Structure 1
Amino acid sequence: MAQKALVIVESPAKAKTINKYLGKDFVVKASVGHVRDLPKSSFGVDLENGFEPRYVTMRDKKKVIDDLKNAASKADIIYLASDPDREGEAISWHVYKILEKECRVPFKRVLFNEITKKAVQEAIAQSGEIDQRKVDAQQARRILDRIVGYQISPLLWDKISRNLSAGRVQSVALRLVCEREAEINAFVQEEYWSIFADFTKENTPFQAKLSKINGKKAEITNGEQAQTIVDALKSGTFQVSELETKQKKKRPLPPFTTSKLQQDASRKLRFSAKKTMMVAQSLYEGVNLGPLGSTGLITYMRTDSTRVSDDALQWGREFIATTFGSEYLPEKPRVFASKKQTQDAHEAIRPTAPHHPDAIREYLTGDQYRMYKIIFEKFIASQMADALVDSTVVDIKNGSHTLRAIGNVITFAGHLALYNIVEEDEPTAGKEEESGRLPRLAVGEALNADQIAPQQHFTQPAPRYSEATLVKTLEEKGIGRPSTYASILSTIEDRKYVEKEDRKFTPTELGKVVNELLVTHFRELFDYNFTANLESELDLIEEGKKEWRQALGTFYTGFKEEFSKAQEALKGVEKINIRANIPCPKCTAELLIKNGRNGEFLACSTYPECSFTANFSKDEEGNLTITPRATDEPTNIVCDKCQRNMVIKMSRRGPFLACSGYPECKNAKSFTKDEEGNITIIVKKPAEQTTIACDKCGATMVVRSSKRGEFLACSAFPKCRNAKSMERDEAGQAVVVEKKEKAAAKKEGKATVGASKAAAKTPAKRKTAAAKKTTDEKKVAAPKKTTKKPATPKE
C-alpha cells in the first residue's frame, strides 16, 4: 500500500519533531541541507549565456538522495518543508528538480515559522507553491559570490599565497576590522582631567563633577590647571543653584531579531555568533521534553522582523498578569516599528509557548537553557510596562565653577524586573556621572565638601570589534542578512585573516596584506555602500521588482571593467612577502610571516637553504618578538635502551619522555605526573597474540587498540602493515570480520557474532548479489583521483 504523503525537511532533528505531529499517513525525511550546488572543481556559471548556472548533485549526498527518491516513488503527494528563507526555498527547489524526473505527483511548498503541532498542521493545510522569486534571489547571491571568489581569489594566490580567498561580503567585514586597527594605531593619546567633590547630607553621601567654568564646558588638559581649580574650590563656598527632578519612562526593547540575539548572546552568555545559531537551531527544531515529547521551543531564528503573532501576544500578556501582576501589564499589546530594510517574512525570535525556562530546565543542555532563558525573558519583557525612573539633576555653584550631580532612582521596575539590557564597547568620555538616590536638597542651600580631588585621564581610541559590535556594524551598514552574519565572522577567522584577543577581533599580518590588495585594486567592489546596495538588489529580486539575470548583468559589467584594471595594475607587482622586520637568528637573513595550519609563524626568507621557523608574539604597538621554543626538562628517569637520562619534550599532543641521546637513541615514553611532580611511565599493554595468520605475509596477527577500539594488526609491522577489523567470539577469542560482512552487519543492525553467523547461512545467490551491490556502491562513491586544488572561495 502506497504511503499518502512525503514531507521533506532540512534536518533529521526537525524531521523527528514534525513526524510526531503528523499522522501515520505521513512519512518525514530530511535532505540534510543542500543536495545540489555549483561544482567545486569548475566555475559552473555560463557568463555568455545569461549567467546560466550548472548545478551538480553533491557527492556526499548520494545516499540521502537515493533515500528521498525511494520514498518519493511511494508517495501520492510531496511536501517540501525546508526552512522559510531564501536558502530554504532554494533547497526545496533543488530537491524538486531532482525528484520531478522520478515521480509524477503534486509538489507543495510548506512553511513552518515554528515547530508546534498547531503550526505544522496549519502549514500543511495552507501549503502553496515554491516561491521562484526567493529562489532567483538565492541563485543571484550564489552566482555573485562565485564570480567574485573564483575571479579574484587567484590574484591572491599569485601575489600573496595559495589557499587564500576573497569573498563579496567577508572581505568587507575584514576591511572593517583592518580599518579599526589602523585607526587604533594612528590614535594619539591626549591627557585630560576631571574634578570631583564629595558631599554628605542626612547621612547620604553623593558626588558632583565639575561641568562648567564661566558658563562654558570645563576642559582641563593638565595637572597644574587641575590643581589651581581645586585650590579655588577649596577657598570658595558651595551653594545649590539649580535643581530639577523628572520622572522618565524607559520602554522595553523589541523581542530578538537574529542580529540582536547574536549581540546579547555574545555579551551575556559569551557565545560566538556561530554557536548562538547552532544552539538556537536546536531549540527551533525540537527538544525532547519528556511527557510532552519532542517540541520546538522557539520560532525561526533567522529573521530581521520584530513582529509577533496575536496568539503569542495573548499568552504572553496572560503570563505577565499571572506572574507579575496587572500593574506590569500595559493597556494594549506593544507593537514595534520595523526598520526600513526589514523583510518581515517571519516573526521575531520568541518562545512558541509559555514554557518557563526553569520548568523545562531538566530537559535542556546548559547552553540550551541559557539561550532559551534570554529569548523567553526578552519576549516577555518586551510586552511589560515601562520602567519609571526619578531623575534628579543638581547644579552646585562655587564662584565661576559649576558642579553637577545626577541621581537616578528606579521607582517602578516594569520590564527591568525581568530583563536587563547589557551594552558594551560604548565610549564613556564626556558622559555625565550618575549616582543612586540623592538627599533632599533646596535651591540656595549651602553645602560643605568632604573632599575635592582631581583625576587624571587619557583619551582612548575606539575599541576593537567584538562579535557583538561587528554584527551590529554590519547590520547598521546594511551588509549581509540575518542568515549570513555568523558565517561572515567564522569565515574571516577560519581563513586566518583575523584572530581573537580578549574576545576582540585583531587582523593578522596576512589579513592586513589581503585587505590592502583588495581595497587598493577593487575599491568599488568592496565599498560599504556598494555591498549594501547589492543586498538591496537581492531584496528587490525577492520582491519581484527586478529580474535576477538583469541584476547580475549590471553588476558584471562594472566588475569586469574593475577586474581588468586590477589585473593590468598587478602585472608588474612581485609576490608580496609579509616582512617581520626581524633577522633570522640562524643565518641573519630576513624573516617572513607565513600562514600555516595552526596560524601565523616566522620562517626564513632563504628557505630551503635555511629552514629556521619559530612562533612569535606581538606587543600592543605591533612589534614582533620570537617566542623561544620550550627547553627540554631534565629528569632522573633512566633510558631502558641506552642508560642515558631521559628529558621531557613537547609535541603537538603534549609532553612526553624522550632519551637525551636523541637522535642516536630514539626511545620515547608516555608518562603522568602527580601533584608533587613525581613521574610515572605509562606502560603500554603488550599486544595480544592470536593464532590468526596474516593473509599477506604469513606472520601472526596480534590484537592492538586504537581510539576506535580493538583491531588485528600484523606482528611484522612496519614491514607489513596489514590490518583487519575484528570481533570476539563467545570464548573471547579474536575473529576476523571481513569488510563486506561488517557492512552487512551494520546495515542490518547485527552486532553479535551469532548474528554474523546467521548472516553467513544466507543462500549463496543472495550473498553474491549483496557482495556485488556493495562493490558497485563503492565504485560509485569512490572519488576520482584529482590534483589537489585550493579550497573553493566562500562568502
Structure 2
Amino acid sequence: GLITYMRTDSLRISDEARAAAYDFIRKKYGDKYIPDTPKKYKTKGNAQDAHEAIRPTHPEVTPDMVKASGVTSDQYKLYKLIWERFIASQMSNCLMDTVSVDISANGCNFKATGYSVKFDGFTILYEEAKDDEGEKKNVLPPIKSGDSIKVRNLEGNQHFTQPPARYTEATLVKAFEETGIGRPSTYVPTITTIINRNYVERDGKQLKPTSLGEVTNQLMSEHFDKIVDVKFTANMEKSLDEVENGKKSWVKTLQDFYSDFDEELTEAEEAMDGKRIKVPDEETDQVCELCGKPMVIKIGRYGKFMACSGFPECKNTKKIVQETGGICPYCGKKVLLKKSKKGKKYYGCEDNPECKFMTWDVPTEEKCPKCGSTLFQKGGKNGILICHKPDCGYERNLSNGG
C-alpha cells in the first residue's frame, strides 16, 4: 500500500520512517532543511497508539510518481496531502522576522504589521495556510527606513464584530480532535449521519443547521444534558480504556451510565407524553397553483419538499428544483441541480425521464463557440470546459487560457 494504517490517530513514527524522510529531504533540499534535533510529536493520552501515524509507506515515492501510476484524482490528492504533511513535519522550522512599519505621507500616518521570511524551512514544501482558500498572508517585502513607496489604492474599511463562523467539515473534525470526541474512524460516519438525517445541510463549505436540527438539539439539551455535552464522549472513551486496562469493572461502568440515563429517559418520556413537536416550515415566495396560498418547505422522510401552507385543506406538494441557468444539450430545456439517493449532487434535464441527459459536470454561463450550447466544467479550477452536445466535441483546458 501507499500509506500506513489509516484508522489510527497516533502521532508516533518509527526511527526507520524518520531516517527515510531525512534521506529524501537531504537529497531534495539539502542539509539545512534537516532539523538539529529529530522532531517528535506527543500523542494524546486517549489516542489509538497501536499503529504508527498515518504516513507514506515509502517517503521516496512522491505524489508525481503516484499520479503517473494511474490512480484516481481523489486518491492522488489524498496521497499528496499525507505525503506533504509527513515530509514537512520532519523538516526544519520556518524562521520569520516580525516587522512593524510606520508610514508618513501628506500629514497622515499609517501602520503596517506583518512578517518577512528569514528561512523558509518546511514551508518550501507545505504551508497549512494554503489549505484555507482566501486566507490573507501578512508577508511584507524587504524594506528599510527612508524608503519611498507608491500608493496603488487606498480603501476605507469599517469592521464590525462578527459571530463565530459556522463549522465546515474540516473545522468540525478539528473540534472533534480538540475535545476528544470520537476517533478518526468515526469522523466521516458522524458527519455523514447528521447530513443524511437532515440535522444539518451544506451551505457552500459550511454546515448549516436545519429547522429539524435546531428542534432536535433543543429537545436533547433540555432532557439529556449529560449526554449532549462535548465532554461526554471523551469521558466515556476514558472509562472504556480503563476497563480495557483492567483498572475498572465493565459492570460498574455500565451501571453508572445506565442508572443516570434511565432516570433522564423516564423524565423525558413523562415530560413529552402527549406532546407533538412541530418543525417550523421555511417560507418561500412561491404561490400554490391550486388554491393561491403561499408554498412552504417541509422536511419529510426523504428530505425537503415543497407543500401548500393550506394543508390539510390543500394537499398540493411538489419536489424542490434548483435551476442552474444551463440549457440541456439534448433537448434545449433547463438543466436542474439534483441529488442522488446517496445525497451526491448531479445535473440533469428538467424533462427527465423523457430526456435522459445527466452529468456530474457543473454547468457554466459560458456558451460553446462551435454550437452555442452550454459549456460544462469537468474537474476543479484546473479542469476543462466541455460541450456535451452530441457530435460537437468542443473542449478547452482551463489551465491554458481558461
TM-score normalized by the length of structure 2: 0.72
Kindly state the Cα deviation for residue 527 of structure 1 after the two structures are TM-superposed.
1.9
Partner of residue 304, structure 1: 9
**Of the candidates 133, 141, 148, which is equivalent to residue 437 of structure 1?**
141
Question: Do structure 1's residue 355 and structure 2's residue 58 form an aligned pair?
Answer: no
Partner of residue 728, structure 1: none
Aligned-partner Cα distance in 1 for 2:332–2:134: 52
**SS class of match (1:334):** coil
**SS class of match (2:54):** coil
Query: Any idea what the Cα deviations from partners look like across 1:76-108, whole Å, max 9, x if unmatched?
Result: xxxxxxxxxxxxxxxxxxxxxxxxxxxxxxxxx
Counting aligned pairs with the same residue, the percent is: 41
Residue identity opposite 1:536 in structure 2: K
Query: Any idea what the Cα deviations from partners look like across 1:193-233, whole Å, max 9, x if unmatched?
Result: xxxxxxxxxxxxxxxxxxxxxxxxxxxxxxxxxxxxxxxxx
Aligned-partner Cα distance in 1 for 2:67–2:77: 9
Partner of residue 654, structure 1: 349
Cα 1:500/1:309, change in 2 over 3 Å: same
In the TM superposition, 1:74-89 aligns within 5 A as none
**Of the candidates 553, 566, 572, which is equivalent to residue 268 of structure 2?**
566
Question: Do structure 1's residue 386 and structure 2's residue 93 form an aligned pair?
Answer: yes
8 Å contact 2:96–2:116 — kept in the other structure? yes
8 Å contact 1:500–1:506 — kept in the other structure? yes
8 Å contact 2:281–2:298 — kept in the other structure? no
Kindly state the Cα deviation for residue 486 of structure 1 after the two structures are TM-superposed.
0.8
Question: Do structure 1's residue 331 and structure 2's residue 36 form an aligned pair?
Answer: yes
Aligned-partner Cα distance in 2 for 1:503–1:439: 38
Partner of residue 298, structure 2: 594
Cα 1:560/1:605, change in 2 over 3 Å: farther
Kindly state the Cα deviation for residue 383 of structure 1 after the two structures are TM-superposed.
1.3
Query: Any idea what the Cα deviations from partners look like across 1:571-623, whole Å, max 9, x if unmatched?
Result: 1313424334579734467866433465212323665642212456xxxxxxx
Kindly state the Cα deviation for residue 352 of structure 1 after the two structures are TM-superposed.
1.3
Greater RCO (Cα-Cα under 8 Å, separation 6 or more): 1
5+ residue gaps, structure 1, are 1-295, 617-626, 634-645, 659-667, 683-795
Aligned-partner Cα distance in 2 for 1:446–1:654: 61
8 Å contact 2:14–2:52 — kept in the other structure? yes
Kindly state the Cα deviation for residue 318 of structure 1 after the two structures are TM-superposed.
1.3
Cα 1:567/1:592, change in 2 over 3 Å: farther
Query: Any idea what the Cα deviations from partners look like across 1:167-204, whole Å, max 9, x if unmatched?
Result: xxxxxxxxxxxxxxxxxxxxxxxxxxxxxxxxxxxxxx
Aligned-partner Cα distance in 1 for 2:128–2:355: 54
Partner of residue 59, structure 1: none
Cα 1:365/1:590, change in 2 over 3 Å: closer
Query: Any idea what the Cα deviations from partners look like across 1:715-737, whole Å, max 9, x if unmatched?
Result: xxxxxxxxxxxxxxxxxxxxxxx
Cα 1:628/1:507, change in 2 over 3 Å: closer
In the TM superposition, 1:200-219 aligns within 5 A as none
Count matched residues: 342
Cα 1:544/1:482, change in 2 over 3 Å: farther
5+ residue gaps, structure 2, are 339-347, 359-369, 374-389, 391-402
Q: Which has the higher helix share?
A: 1
TM-score normalized by the length of structure 1: 0.38
Residue identity opposite 2:165 in structure 1: P
Kindly state the Cα deviation for residue 561 of structure 1 after the two structures are TM-superposed.
0.4
Cα 1:548/1:356, change in 2 over 3 Å: same
Aligned-partner Cα distance in 2 for 1:657–1:498: 28
In the TM superposition, 1:739-778 aligns within 5 A as none
**SS class of match (2:8):** coil
**SS class of match (1:500):** strand
**SS class of match (2:50):** coil
Aligned-partner Cα distance in 1 for 2:109–2:22: 47
Kindly state the Cα deviation for residue 483 of structure 1 after the two structures are TM-superposed.
1.4
**SS class of match (2:111):** strand
Question: Do structure 1's residue 477 and structure 2's residue 188 form an aligned pair?
Answer: no
Partner of residue 27, structure 2: 322
Aligned-partner Cα distance in 1 for 2:203–2:263: 39
Cα 1:573/1:321, change in 2 over 3 Å: same
In the TM superposition, 1:115-514 aligns within 5 A as 296-353=1-58, 354-363=60-69, 364-395=71-102, 403-422=110-129, 434-441=138-145, 454-514=156-216
Kindly state the Cα deviation for residue 568 of structure 1 after the two structures are TM-superposed.
0.6
Cα 1:628/1:352, change in 2 over 3 Å: closer
Cα 1:425/1:508, change in 2 over 3 Å: farther
Larger radius of gyration: 1
Cα 1:655/1:328, change in 2 over 3 Å: same
Question: Do structure 1's residue 612 and structure 2's residue 319 form an aligned pair?
Answer: no
